[in-house]
Structure 1
Amino acid sequence: MSDAVAEPTLRRSIGPIQLFAYTLGGMLGAGIYGLVGRAAGELGSAVWLGFLVAMVAALLTGLSYASLGSRYPRAGGAAYVTHRGFGRPLLTWTVGLAVMASGLTSVATQSRVVAENLLRLLDIPGVAPVLISLGFLVFIAGVVLRGIRESMWMNMLCTAVEATGLALVIAVGLPWIGQANLLETPTGTIEATLILQGAILTFFAFIGFEDTLNVAEECQDPRRTIPVGIVSAMLVAATLYMVVAAVAVSVVPWRELAVTPGPLAEVMARAAPWMPGWVFVAITVFAVANTALLNYVTASRLTYGMARQGLLPAVLGRVHPRTRTPHVAVGALFVVVVALMLAGDIGQLASATVLLLLAVFACVNVALLVLQRRPGEKPGGFEVPSFVPALGALVCLALLLNRVATGDWRAPLIAGVVLAAILLLFLVVRPRGVPLVQD
C-alpha cells in the first residue's frame, strides 16, 4: 500500500447564494457612489438609460464568462480559458498578469481609501494613514489566508451593507420621483450617440463580475452555480443602478448632481437631512473593503492557477492542508500589495489597468468562440449562441478604442508601459506552460 499523502486541494464550499453575493459585491463597490454624478453630466436626467444600455453590453461578456465557468471550473480564470483556447504561453501570461495587475493595484489603492475614511469616521488624531492602510492589508490577507468560507462570509456582510446603502437612497428618494423629467438630456433630445456615450461611462459600473470565474474551482456544482450567480447578480446590479439613478436626478437636478463631489451623499442630505453624515462614510468603508477583499481572493486564485499551469513558480500553487487556501500565493501577493501601497498615489495606475481588462474581456470572448468550434470539447451546463461572445468581443474592443481615443492620454500610456513590462518579464522568466488535460 502506498504511503503517499494526497496533495491538498481547494475546498468546494461556495453555494449559489454565496456566489451571487460574491458577484454582486464585486460590481457594486464604491464606484456607483461617484459614477452617478459623472454619468448625469453626460446624459442628464436620462442617466438611467445609460445604465440599461451598459447592462446589455456588459451582459454579453457576462454570459460568456458564465458559459466558460460552467465548462471549465478552474481557479486560473481568464488565464486558464486563454491557455485552453489558444495554447500560447505568451498570451496566457499576458492575460493572467494583466488581470493580476488590475486586482493588486486596486487593493493597494483601496487600502488608502479605507484609511482616509476611517480617519474621518473615527477622528483619530496623530495616526499616520499609512499605518491604518498596512493594518487593513494585514487584516484582509488574514481573512483570505484563513479560508474561502471566511472570505465568503465577510463578503456577504459587506455586500449587504453596500446594497443597504443603495436601498436607503431609493427609500428616501422615491417620494421625489415625478419631480424631474427622466428623459431630459443636455441636448434636449434622446439621441442614440448620446446614450451610447453615456453607456461607455456606465459600463465600468459592471466590472467585477469577471472575478467570479477565479473561484469556480471552489464552487459546489459549478456547472449550475456559476451561470446563475453571474447572470442574476448582473441583473440585480443593473436594476439597483437604474432606480438609484432615477431617484438621484429626481432629488438633485442633474446639473447640480454632475458637479457634486459626493452625489449620493448629497441626495441623502436633501432627501433625509435627519440622517447623520457618518452613515455614508461607514458604508463607503464597507464597500471599498469588500472590493479589496474580492480583488485579493481573485489575485490569489489566479496566481495559484497560473502556477498549476506551469506559468509561475510551482511553489505558488501549493495549498495549505488545514485552511485549504493557496497560502504561498496569498503571502507573496501581500508583499507586492504592501510595496504598491507604500509607493504612494497609484490611482492613475489602477485606472490604466482597467483598460487592460477590456482587452482581456475581448480575448476571453474570442477564446469561447474557438472552444465552441473545437471538436472534442465538452459543452458546459450553460451554453450561449456564438453571436454572444462575438458581439461581446466587438463591444469590449470598441469600448477600449473609445477610451483610448477620447479619455485622458495618461491612462493608455501607463497601460502600455504595464503591458510592455509584462512582456519583458515573460522574456526574462521564459515560462513554457504545461499541456492541459482534456476533461
Structure 2
Amino acid sequence: MAATQDAAAARQPELHRSIGRFQLFAYTLGGMLGAGIYGLVGRAAGDLGNAVWLGFAVAMVAALLTGLSYASIGSRYPRAGGAAYVTQRAYGMRLLSWMVGLAVMASGLTSVATQSRVVAANLLSLFPLGAPPVVVALGFLLLVAGVVFRGIRESMAVNVLCTLVEFCGLVFIIVVGIPYWGGVDLLVTPSPEGISASLLLSGAILTFFAFIGFEDSLNVAEECKDAARTVPFGIVGAMLAATVLYMAVAVTAVSVVPFGELATAPSPLAAVTAVAAPWFPGWGYVAITVFAVANTALLNYVTASRLAFGMARDGLLPEALGRVHPGTRTPHVAIGVLFVVLVALVLAGDIGQLASATVLLLLAVFTVVNGALLVLQRRAGEPRGGFEVPSFVPAAGAVVCLVLLGNRVATGDWRAPALAGVILLVILGLFFLLRPRALARGA
C-alpha cells in the first residue's frame, strides 16, 4: 500500500520552481508594505511624537529576529506549508502542527476577504458604477483566484507591478517632504519624560505589525530557484528595505505636519501630501490604495493555497488538496476549495474583528516556529541550510513574540483576544472531527 502511494506521488506534477531573488524580494516587500503604513504612521506619531522613526527602528530589530529564523528555516526546508511542516518536524505533534497551519491559513483567508471588500469600496469611489460593493468584491476575488490558478510566474508578475506602485507611493511622500527635513526636533515626544524605554516599547509594539508579511515567503520556498540563497535574500533584504522606507516616511510625516495633527488625521499621509504637494490629485491615493490592498489579497491567497497544499501532502489535510495541475503547475484543488471559503467570508460582511484576531494568532505561531528552529538546530543529523543563525536568534525571537502577545492581550481591546480564543477552539474541534494523520517527525 505504501509503495503504491509512493508511486502515485512520484507521478504527480510538482510545483514550478521559477521564483528568483528579485521576485522573492518583491513578494516579501509587497507583503509587508500593504496599505497599513498609510494609517499606521499617524497612530504611532500619537504615541511617540517626532520620535516615531525610532519606533520603527526598534520594531525592526524585534521583527528581524523572527525574520532571520524564517530565512534560516526556508534555506533548510524549502517546502510549501513551511510553518506547519517545521512544527511537525521539530515536535512531532499532529495537534500542534494542525493548529499552527490552520491559524496561519485563517489569518491569510480573513485578510483576503477583508481586502476584497476594501478594494471594492475604493474602486466604487473611483468609478461610481452603481454596482453593489459585494458584487465588485466577488468579481475582484474571482480575478485574483484566476491569477493564482494561472501560475506562480503570473502571480509574481502582478505582485512586482503592485509592489512597485506601493514603493513609488511611499518614495513620492519622501521626495516631496525632503525640503521640510531638519525643521523639527526628531527627539520630541508627547511624554514629559522624553524618550524612555517604556515609550519605545509601546511604540515598537504598535509598529511591529508593519513588518508582518515576511512569513508568507516561507510558503513559496518550494517554488524558488536555489531556495537556500533566494529565501534568506528575499526575507532579510525586504525587511531592511521596508525599515529604511518606514523610517524615512516617518521623518517626512512629522517634519511636514505636527505630530498632534498627524495623529488625528483620517489619512495621515494624505495630510502630508496636502501640505507638501497640494497639486497631487486626491484620487491618486485611492489608486495607490487599490494596488496596495490588491497586492496583499493576492499574496495571502498564494500563501494560503501553498499552505493547504503542503499540509495535505504531509497528511494534515485531505489528500485531494495536495494535487498539482499538470498544465499550470499550481495546487488547483486547494485554490478552488479556498475560493469557496473566501466567497462565504466575503458574503458574511464586515469581518474586521476576525482579521484582527487572526493577526494576533500569528504572534503565537511565530513563538512556536522560533522554538521549532531552536529544537532542529540542536538535533543531530538535521540538514543545514545556506543561511544559518546562532541559537540566540530564535530564542530571542520567541521571547519577543511572547512579550508582544502578552502585552497585546493585557492592554488591547478584549474582543480580538476573545475571538482568537474562539478561533483556536474551532480549529481544535475540527482536528478531533477530521482526525488528520501526519507524516512521521523528520519525514
* TM-superposed deviation, 1:378: 1.2
| Cα 1:210/1:6, change in 2 over 3 Å | same
What letter corresponds to residue 168 of structure 2 in structure 1? Answer: T
* TM-superposed deviation, 1:437: 5.7
Matched, 1:420 2:422: no
| CA deviation profile, 1:344-390 (whole Å, cap 9, x unmatched) | 00000000001100000000000000000001101111000000000
Aligned residue for 2:79? 74
Task: Give the secondary structure class of the aligned counterpart of 2:191.
Answer: coil
Distance, in Å, in 1 between the alignment partners of 2:206 and 2:8 is 58
| Cα 1:280/1:305, change in 2 over 3 Å | same
Aligned residue for 1:133? 137
- 5 Å-filtered alignment, 1:20-35, equals 20-35=25-40
Aligned residue for 2:150? 146
The correspondence for 2:186, drawn from 182, 186, 194, is 182
Distance, in Å, in 2 between the alignment partners of 1:263 and 1:118 is 21
What letter corresponds to residue 167 of structure 1 in structure 2? Answer: V
* TM-superposed deviation, 1:106: 0.4
- Worse-superposed segment, 322-331 or 181-190: 181-190
The correspondence for 2:114, drawn from 102, 109, 116, is 109
Distance, in Å, in 1 between the alignment partners of 2:312 and 2:376 is 23
What letter corresponds to residue 178 of structure 1 in structure 2? Answer: G
Asked if structure 1 preserves the Cα contact closer than 8 Å seen for 2:148 and 2:335, the reply is: yes
- 5 Å-filtered alignment, 1:153-172, equals 153-172=157-176
Matched, 1:248 2:253: yes
Distance, in Å, in 2 between the alignment partners of 1:3 and 1:303 is 19
Task: Give the secondary structure class of the aligned counterpart of 2:306.
Answer: helix
The normalised TM-score by structure 1 is: 0.98
What letter corresponds to residue 267 of structure 1 in structure 2? Answer: V
What letter corresponds to residue 16 of structure 2 in structure 1? Answer: R
Aligned residue for 2:235? 230
- 5 Å-filtered alignment, 1:360-439, equals 360-435=365-440, 438=443
Asked if structure 1 preserves the Cα contact closer than 8 Å seen for 2:51 and 2:187, the reply is: yes
Distance, in Å, in 1 between the alignment partners of 2:442 and 2:178 is 54
The correspondence for 1:297, drawn from 282, 299, 302, is 302
* TM-superposed deviation, 1:412: 0.3
Distance, in Å, in 2 between the alignment partners of 1:193 and 1:434 is 45
| CA deviation profile, 1:112-152 (whole Å, cap 9, x unmatched) | 0000000111232x210011000000000000000000000
Aligned residue for 2:3? none
What letter corresponds to residue 29 of structure 1 in structure 2? Answer: G
* TM-superposed deviation, 1:6: 2.5
* TM-superposed deviation, 1:436: 5.1
- 5 Å-filtered alignment, 1:203-282, equals 203-282=208-287
What letter corresponds to residue 49 of structure 1 in structure 2? Answer: L
Task: Give the secondary structure class of the aligned counterpart of 2:429.
Answer: helix
The normalised TM-score by structure 2 is: 0.97
| CA deviation profile, 1:129-185 (whole Å, cap 9, x unmatched) | 011000000000000000000000000000000000000000100101112111110
Matched, 1:343 2:348: yes
* TM-superposed deviation, 1:402: 0.2
Aligned residue for 2:95? 90
- 5 Å-filtered alignment, 1:323-362, equals 323-362=328-367
Distance, in Å, in 1 between the alignment partners of 2:54 and 2:22 is 29
What are the ranges of 5 or more consecutive residues in structure 2 without an aligned counterpart?
Answer: 1-6
Asked if structure 1 preserves the Cα contact closer than 8 Å seen for 2:309 and 2:334, the reply is: yes
- 5 Å-filtered alignment, 1:45-60, equals 45-60=50-65
What letter corresponds to residue 392 of structure 1 in structure 2? Answer: G
| Cα 1:79/1:298, change in 2 over 3 Å | same
Distance, in Å, in 1 between the alignment partners of 2:319 and 2:430 is 17
Distance, in Å, in 2 between the alignment partners of 1:435 and 1:199 is 39
Distance, in Å, in 2 between the alignment partners of 1:405 and 1:59 is 24
Aligned residue for 1:18? 23
Task: Give the secondary structure class of the aligned counterpart of 2:210.
Answer: helix
Distance, in Å, in 1 between the alignment partners of 2:436 and 2:357 is 25
Aligned residue for 2:4? none
The correspondence for 1:196, drawn from 193, 198, 201, is 201
Matched, 1:307 2:312: yes
Task: Give the secondary structure class of the aligned counterpart of 1:206.
Answer: coil
Distance, in Å, in 2 between the alignment partners of 1:354 and 1:437 is 28
Distance, in Å, in 2 between the alignment partners of 1:268 and 1:362 is 39
| Cα 1:174/1:4, change in 2 over 3 Å | closer
Task: Give the secondary structure class of the aligned counterpart of 1:181.
Answer: coil
Distance, in Å, in 1 between the alignment partners of 2:150 and 2:267 is 35
- Equivalent residues, number: 436
What letter corresponds to residue 340 of structure 2 in structure 1? Answer: V
| Cα 1:437/1:64, change in 2 over 3 Å | closer
What letter corresponds to residue 63 of structure 1 in structure 2? Answer: L
| CA deviation profile, 1:229-275 (whole Å, cap 9, x unmatched) | 10000000000000000000111100000000100111111110001
